[in-house]
Every structure is written in C-alpha cells, then in structure tokens.
Amino acid sequence: MNFDFSDDQKLLRDQARKFLQDKCDRKSVRSILENHKQSYNAKLWSQISELGWTGTAIPEEYGGLGLGMLELCVIAEELGRALAPTPFSSSIYIFAEFLKSYGTDEQKKKYLPLIASGEKIGTFALSETNGKPKPNNIKTQYVLGKLNGSKNPVSDGESADYIIVAANSDGNSNYNSLSLYIIDRNDPGVNISNLETIDPTRPACTVDLENVACERLGDEGIGWEMIDNIFNRAAVLFSFEQVGGAQVSLDEAKKYSLERFAFGKQIGAFQALKHKMADMYVKIELARSNAYYGAWALSTDSNELPIAAAGARVSASEAYNFASQENIQIHGGVGFTWEYDCHLFYRRSKLLSLNIGSIRQWKENLISNLEKRNIV
C-alpha cells in the first residue's frame, strides 16, 4: 500500500506553498477582485510559467516538463490554498488536456509549447443557456467550415488566446452531432464581452461567434464523449484546489476562534464551535481521501476514472462549500464584511462547484457510472 504522494512530490508542494505565500498574498488576490479592468494577475502568471508549472504534465516533446498528473495535483492544491487569480485551470486542466488527449501531432506541436510556456492561454466554451449543457441547448453551429453562435459563461475567455468551442453541425442537435473546434480569439468574427461572476478573481465572459474560422479537434461527432473524459480529468485537479481552499477556510476559522474572546473565554472553547470545526475537519478529510483516489485513477489511466473523478468532485465541492460557509459563521459579524477574507473563499468555493458542472450533475454521473460498472 502506497497511497500517498512521494517525497519529491511533497518537496514540490512545500516549494509551491512557499512561493505562493510570497508572491500571491491576499493583497494580490484582492487587487484582481477589486479591479474590474484586470482579469488575472499577469505578473504571477509569468512567474509560475517561468517555474514550469504550466508545463508540468505536458510532454517534453511539446515543450513541457513531462512530469505526471500527480505533480499537477500537488500544484492544484497549492493554487487552491492561495486563491491564485490566474487562468491556470482553463488553460492547463482543460485546454491542454483536450489537446494532449485528442490533438493531432500537428495540433499538439502548434499549441502545446505555447500553452506549456504560458505565452498563450487557452479555454473551453460549452454552455449557452441557463441550466445543464445538453445536446438540444447547444445552438452554436458548424456549417461549411465556419462557426456561428454565442457561448456563456466562458471561464477566462477574456484572457484566452485560443478557445475550444463545442458546436453541433449541419443543423443537427443530438448526442452524435457535437464536435469540438479550436478558434483564435483574434478572428474578426469573435466578440468577447465580460460577465460579472460570483468570484471576480475567476472571471468569465460571453463569446459571440460570427462566421469564425476554426479547426476541428478530435473526431467528428464525439464531442460529448471528449467533454466527459476531459471534465473527469479536470474534476480531479479541481478537487485538489477545493481541498486546498477548504483546509485554509478551516485553518482561518480556527485561528480566529482562538483570538476572539466572548463571555470571558476564547470562542473556540465553546462546544457549538468545536463541533462545527470537527465537522469541517471530517468533510475535508473525506474529500482529501476521495481526491487522492481520483489522483491515483488519473495518474494510472485507470478505467475507474469516471467514478473516482465524480467521487472526488462531489466530496471536494461539498467540503469546500461547507468549510467556507462555516468559516463565515465562526467569524460572526466581521465574517460578512468586505474587509475580512472569508468571502474570498465563500466566492471561490461556490464558483468551483459550478464551473465544470454542478454537484447534482456530478452525483448523477457518479451513480450512472457505478451502474455501468455493475453491468460490465
């Protein structure tokens, strides 16, 4: 039994933590939160790119470091702890993973080195309407080599250079008519307009497409299958971000409860708060363990991945939501002020539990994959 990260991976974690404590403090997170003109911290982005984080799990032949997915999990947890305001997840967990899994060699050569170096940023555009994206509500169409339609919300769309767009083709809208296409945001038919989000440190936008040139990624008509697969991979990475953020929420709740006195003692001495923090701990440990299992499945290309990813996603989303909510509660009145940091985690936790599909959607994924496994 070796269900743990290696010593080298732990060393990487310690280095990443130290680096982010230094370069990504709360002031820098707030500068993005409060400055609507900036969608991410460009300086931090170039620093973490220089460190090679963006290329962690991209093969060396395509300009990456060629390390494994476990190393990327380690970095994800640290980015989550630090609330790093960068498009890392869109560009690395999703765009790069799409290219790695489905790009032709030519496409990999064209895009991956630019993504690995952090020079260019990629993202993915799927949703078009209220509620869960599904075949009949994807109106974006691919006709005669051009894309037309409108996508929103698109995470990190404003900073993206390349966008993978999900589109139906030739007037169809069924499970087998969706394909994915790569576009360049500089195409004259692309129009991007910002959207406010519940967490402005993780921005989104609307992307309107009018006769936009594109190249197809992966086989025609397997778009939904590709999305499931890449979202499973991303879910594991996000679960580490979530566990990281949840842990800091608990740590800060605990710290405050030891500093704040009421009724003649530290509020952390009241059982009502002790038990609440014990419950936070329990949920976080379960989430961490589920995330580890996801990491194992991801790093070994196990066919357990759909189940492991859904388990990690649900567990980590719930743990982070709970921890960030109760962190505000433990802080009392100051917890809901702009000045205190509790809301940064409250915002981030909810956004992360929605960005690649809601908890209820992933619970459904989990059970349906368990049913499939039982049949096989």
Q: Which residues bind another protein (CB under 8 A)?
A: 1-5, 70, 250, 254, 257-258, 265-266, 268-269, 271, 273-275, 277-279, 281-282, 285-290, 292-293, 295-296, 299-300, 310-311, 314-315, 318, 360, 362-364, 366-368, 370-371
150 alpha-carbon distance from chain centroid:
22
Q: How far is the CB of 254 from another protein (least distance, A)?
A: 6
Residue placing its CB nearer to another protein in the complex, 56 or 123: 56
Q: How far is the CB of 16 from another protein (least distance, A)?
A: 19
Q: How far is the CB of 316 from another protein (least distance, A)?
A: 9
Q: How far is the CB of 233 from another protein (least distance, A)?
A: 16
For 330, residues 6+ apart whose C-beta sits below 8 A from its C-beta are 253, 256, 257, 267, 273, 276, 277
For 226, residues 6+ apart whose C-beta sits below 8 A from its C-beta are 98, 101, 102, 180, 217, 218
- 295 φ, ψ to 5°? -65, -40
Residue placing its CB nearer to another protein in the complex, 205 or 366: 366
Three-point CA angle 261, 267, 268, nearest 5°: 130
Q: How far is the CB of 170 from another protein (least distance, A)?
A: 33
Placement of tokens 């269900």 in the chain: 3
Residue placing its CB nearer to another protein in the complex, 148 or 299: 299
Residue placing its CB nearer to another protein in the complex, 8 or 215: 8
Report d(CA 127, CA 198) in Å as an integer: 17
Residue placing its CB nearer to another protein in the complex, 219 or 259: 259
Report d(CA 138, CA 150) in Å as an integer: 9
Report d(CA 22, CA 362) in Å as an integer: 35
